[in-house]
């Protein structure tokens, strides 16, 4: 048992092995006992189209395979979600899962995961903005009979008082959380269709640091290069692809009692997510080009664009009226020629002001990032 495992609960079960991130299931001999391991951490917190790209490892990757409505779908919220989480630095490079979390056999087989499975439970008060709570179970990779009793880290976030913004159509949600040490987290959620199911979403988490000058120099925590802004985007940037399991929240209790087993997690993920473990390595390497110029895209040359997996783009620049502010534009290409964009203006006092629109366009051919 790893020394980092801090809670063990005995329970009867049958174990089976999983080739963890290829989801090949192989049954092994029954075990009379298994250990449920949970670590608890508290923190402050209609058109059919099909397009493909070739990833860096030459695999064929499907970008769009769903029935898309004339407007982005409503983003699901509340209840329980399960999905895959990956993190990136401010240059768009994947931040690997720490090796101490990965079984040696997966490393030896060349199967070290690039993302982790997460189960998220969300609850809120009567008007949502008065009270909002999220509990996250991060599932660590396992092999062999340990797959019958997965190790889980539990974290909790709580938000109060007008920190959630959504547009009238509820197709996008923006969450702003103040963090210690002059930091702020902006999280944008987009609704997504997968195989005509509308219970999916993509969440993008961006961390901001308010500084008087750019003193951050480490590779993993280096700021995006802005010349005037005192709000800097710092690592990690997080992307989570997930589906809604239940509209009612389990309040983070799915790992209680007998713990979590690989069979249940595989079933909850569903076929699409179950075969998406390499999504963090799949990036369209050409910039997005709007078809027409509007008031929001007229000054695109002043923005620097970051290309990320899951059809996510992040553009950023300092504000014109206030040099202590920062403008973020987070985009989700939900259809081959259409992108949903959220503009977040973070002023000097940290208040995030949001607006959203849908634009026609395409990935610009002949250019690479």
Please indicate, yes or no, if residue 151 is contained in any of the structural domains: yes
The alpha carbon of residue 247 and the mean position of all alpha carbons in its chain are separated, in whole angstroms, by 19
> Using an 8 Å Cβ cutoff, are 332 and 316 in contact?
no
Please indicate, yes or no, if residue 314 is contained in any of the structural domains: no
pLDDT at 269: 92
- The Cα 186–Cα 163 span in angstroms is 10
**Whole-prediction pTM:** 0.77
Q: How far is CA 65 from CA 47, 62, 219, 314, 363, in A?
A: 11, 7, 36, 23, 17
pLDDT at 5: 35
Residue 129's domain comprises: 8-278
- The Cα 341–Cα 297 span in angstroms is 11
Tally of domains in the chain: 1
34-42 and 151-159: which strand pairing? Answer: parallel
Q: How many other C-beta atoms can be found within 10 angstroms of the C-beta atom of residue 318?
A: 17
Please indicate, yes or no, if residue 33 is contained in any of the structural domains: yes
> Using an 8 Å Cβ cutoff, are 368 and 286 in contact?
yes
Backbone phi and psi for residue 42, each to the nearest 5 degrees, phi listed first: -110, 130
pLDDT at 190: 95
Please indicate, yes or no, if residue 253 is contained in any of the structural domains: yes
Please indicate, yes or no, if residue 307 is contained in any of the structural domains: no
Please indicate, yes or no, if residue 339 is contained in any of the structural domains: no
Please indicate, yes or no, if residue 235 is contained in any of the structural domains: yes
Q: What is the pLDDT along the chain (369 residues), one digit of tens a residue?
A: 433 333 333 333 333 334 333 333 332 333 333 334 555 554 433 222 222 222 233 333 333 333 444 567 899 999 999 999 999 999 899 999 999 999 999 989 888 999 999 999 998 766 655 567 899 999 999 887 768 889 999 999 877 655 788 888 899 999 888 888 888 899 999 998 776 667 899 999 999 988 764 444 444 455 554 445 578 899 999 999 999 999 999 999 999 987 799 999 999 998 888 888 888 988 777 788 888 766 566 565 677 788 899 889 998 886 555 556 788 999 998 888 889 999 998 887 777 888 899 988 888 764 544
Please indicate, yes or no, if residue 335 is contained in any of the structural domains: no
């Amino acid at each position: 048992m790893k020394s980092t495992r801090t809670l063990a609960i005995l329970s009867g079960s049958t174990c089976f092995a999983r080739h963890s991130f290829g989801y090949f299931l192989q049954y092994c001999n029954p075990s009379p006992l298994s250990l449920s391991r949970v670590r608890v951490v508290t923190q402050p917190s209609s058109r059919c189209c099909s397009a493909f790209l070739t990833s860096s490892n030459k695999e064929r990757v499907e970008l769009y395979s769903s029935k898309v409505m004339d407007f982005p779908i409503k983003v699901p919220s509340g209840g329980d979600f399960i999905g895959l989480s990956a993190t990136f630095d401010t240059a768009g490079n994947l931040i690997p899962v720490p090796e101490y979390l990965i079984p040696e056999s997966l490393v030896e087989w060349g199967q070290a995961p690039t993302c982790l499975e997460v189960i998220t439970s969300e609850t809120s008060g009567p008007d949502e903005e008065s009270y909002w709570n999220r509990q996250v179970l991060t599932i660590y990779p396992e092999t062999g009979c340990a797959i019958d009793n997965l190790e889980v880290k539990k974290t909790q976030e709580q938000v109060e008082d007008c920190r959630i913004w959504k547009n009238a159509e509820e197709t996008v949600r923006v969450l702003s959380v103040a963090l210690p040490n002059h930091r702020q987290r902006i999280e944008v959620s987009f609704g997504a269709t997968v195989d005509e199911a509308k219970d999916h979403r993509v969440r993008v988490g961006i961390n901001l640091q308010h500084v008087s000058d750019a003193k951050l120099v480490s590779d993993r925590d280096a700021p995006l290069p802005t010349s005037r802004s005192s709000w800097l985007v710092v690592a990690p940037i997080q992307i989570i692809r997930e589906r809604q399991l239940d509209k009612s929240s389990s309040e983070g209790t799915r790992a209680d009692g007998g713990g979590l087993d690989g069979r249940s997690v595989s079933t909850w993920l569903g076929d699409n997510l179950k075969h998406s473990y390499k999504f963090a390595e799949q990036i369209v390497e050409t910039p997005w080009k709007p078809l027409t110029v509007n008031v929001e895209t007229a000054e695109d040359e002043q923005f620097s664009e970051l290309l990320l997996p899951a059809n996510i783009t992040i553009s950023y620049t300092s504000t014109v009226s206030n040099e202590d502010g920062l403008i973020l534009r987070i985009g989700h290409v939900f259809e081959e020629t259409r992108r949903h964009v959220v503009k977040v203006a973070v002023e000097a006092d940290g208040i995030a002001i949001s607006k959203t629109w849908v634009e026609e366009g395409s990935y610009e051919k002949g250019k690479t990032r």
